[in-house]
Structure 1
Amino acid sequence: MNMAAPAPHHRCPPPDSPALRAQHGNQVATSTKTPPQAPGTARQRLLPALPTAADWDRHWRTGQGRLVTALEQDRFLRRVRPQPGTTALDIGCGTGKWTRNLASWGLSVTGFDFSSEALRQAQAFPHPRVEFRHWDFDDRATRLPGLPRGGLHLVTCRLSLEYLDTRQLLAHVARWLHPHGAFYALTRVADSDHAAVTAPPFTRMLRPAQLDAVLTHPLWRSAYHATVPPFTAIVLRSPCPADLPLRPR
């Protein structure tokens, strides 16, 4: 088992600080890594197409659920320390196994997915503290209904981060969370861009540069990650009290 060292603690300047605006606005330009290219470039055309909702419906009908291991549960509880009685949101909940785990630890949870078939299976196992809803986060994250700013204590995203616009999503999650809230993700990370491009559509992986961008996102005070191949767990804590517009990728 390979446990990665915790990422360095990040401190946020005040919301109106020129330093934060400079960091935020010039993040791509000042990076030492190859900057992401605009949509339509040769690099993006090499990436495999994302599965559609209909593709996911067919996938879930095969009965291939997402395994939740005892090891992951133990590490999540020790690292994140979710508090009973608080509220959580589970992004890309699939058939709801992880969502129901959160509820069993005393949280009130809403699970979101854009596959109708996944939600049908999830709703077959009701729980008094769980609600499942249909939503496409990548397209409509800014218009999530009934979600007050700062109203959540925990947001989780298991094996779905690699299908989303991570930079925009993390900015939205930072606004949704309580100042002491946490974001937890489980994802696959490729060891090279080539491995990410050639991964099967339902086991998509983040590129190494994408993982680095998640861990250094400017709106979070601290970041931690640990790897137990083939998965990497990510915990971001305490979003910064800033509401700056993000440049499109």
Structure 2
Amino acid sequence: MAQQQTARQVRPRIVQGVRLHTVEDWQNFNLAQPGRDISPTELDMFRQRVPLQEKMRVLDIGCGNGRWTRELAKLGLGVTGFDWDSAAVERANSFPTLHPRPDYQVWDVMSQDPPAWIEPGTVDLVTFRYSLGAMKPAVVLPLVGTMLRAGGQVYILTDLDRKNVDDHTQLTPGLTEAKIRSLGKGWGHMEVWNFGLRTGITLAGYGL
């Protein structure tokens, strides 16, 4: 009984103690967590708003352990997951899969030029699942906008950043309502939807 009580006490301390502001924070998080669950509701909402075709060229930016990247591969998409943390990329590559294994690469989208093989106008979909809040959207979104084909989309899933609230369930940085509204600047189309405490966004038509 004492051993079970200890286990219940340890897990909240590990989860609540993670604040993803440093390299060490991110590495500890990626080592401790398998990745945030993908619910049927989340997947349905994604598929309703993003028309999918087999072998679409997809970039998953801020992929972490690759959980969402692997889900995209299961849907038959040609996906590459990127993360700035080489330890996260190494762990993503270690997960077994019965489906085609996604490609994972190290790329710091905030400070490095895109890989040479990503040419402008060649990408169908770029996804940021719980990752854009850790970046500067005003820098990152114009960059990926130039990568998209005509008709290409950006898909974002984020926690809502509730300022001045001590919320231990919000592990990854979220976006404020004001910042979410600002994401559409420079894009011809923006759709926003909420489920639970999370917000989904699609962007299309960069520069239109």
Q: Same fold (TM over 0.5)?
A: yes
1:208 aligns with 2:177: yes
AA partner of residue 154 (structure 1): L
Aligned with 1:231 (options 186, 193, 198): 198
The Cα of 1:86 is off from its aligned counterpart by 1.4
> Secondary structure of 2:204's match?
strand
CA distance in 1, matches of 2:177, 2:24: 29
User: TM-score under structure 1 normalisation?
Assistant: 0.69
Q: Residues 213 and 199 of structure 1: is their aligned pair in 2 closer, same or farther, counting only changes over 3 Å?
A: farther
Q: Deviations over 1:205-237 (max 9, x none)?
A: 2122211111x311x110001011211000112
1:41-52 equivalent positions in 2, closer than 5 A? 51-52=21-22
Structure 2 gap segments, 5+ residues each: 1-18
CA distance in 2, matches of 1:132, 1:175: 21
CA contact (8 A) 2:153 2:204 kept: yes
Aligned match of 2:42: 72
CA distance in 2, matches of 1:199, 1:211: 19
CA distance in 1, matches of 2:32, 2:61: 21
- Identity across the alignment (%): 32
Aligned match of 1:137: 109
CA contact (8 A) 2:126 2:155 kept: yes
CA contact (8 A) 1:179 1:240 kept: no
CA contact (8 A) 2:107 2:114 kept: no
The Cα of 1:98 is off from its aligned counterpart by 0.9
The Cα of 1:143 is off from its aligned counterpart by 3.7
CA distance in 2, matches of 1:87, 1:188: 26
AA partner of residue 136 (structure 1): D
CA distance in 1, matches of 2:22, 2:106: 14
> Secondary structure of 2:120's match?
coil
Aligned match of 1:44: none
The Cα of 1:139 is off from its aligned counterpart by 1.5
CA distance in 2, matches of 1:113, 1:67: 19
CA contact (8 A) 2:188 2:204 kept: yes
CA distance in 2, matches of 1:233, 1:60: 23
Aligned with 1:106 (options 51, 54, 76): 76
User: TM-score under structure 2 normalisation?
Assistant: 0.82
CA distance in 1, matches of 2:100, 2:161: 38
Higher relative contact order structure (alpha carbons within 8 Å, sequence separation ≥ 6): 1
1:169-184 equivalent positions in 2, closer than 5 A? 169-184=140-155
Structure 1 gap segments, 5+ residues each: 1-48, 242-249
1:128 aligns with 2:95: no
The Cα of 1:50 is off from its aligned counterpart by 5.8
> Secondary structure of 1:138's match?
coil
Aligned with 1:83 (options 53, 56, 68): 53
The two structures, once aligned, show a CA RMSD in angstroms of 2.1
> Secondary structure of 2:171's match?
helix
The alignment of Structure 1 onto Structure 2 pairs a total of residues equal to 187
CA contact (8 A) 1:108 1:129 kept: no
CA contact (8 A) 1:114 1:136 kept: yes
> Secondary structure of 1:106's match?
coil
1:240 aligns with 2:192: no
CA contact (8 A) 2:61 2:81 kept: yes
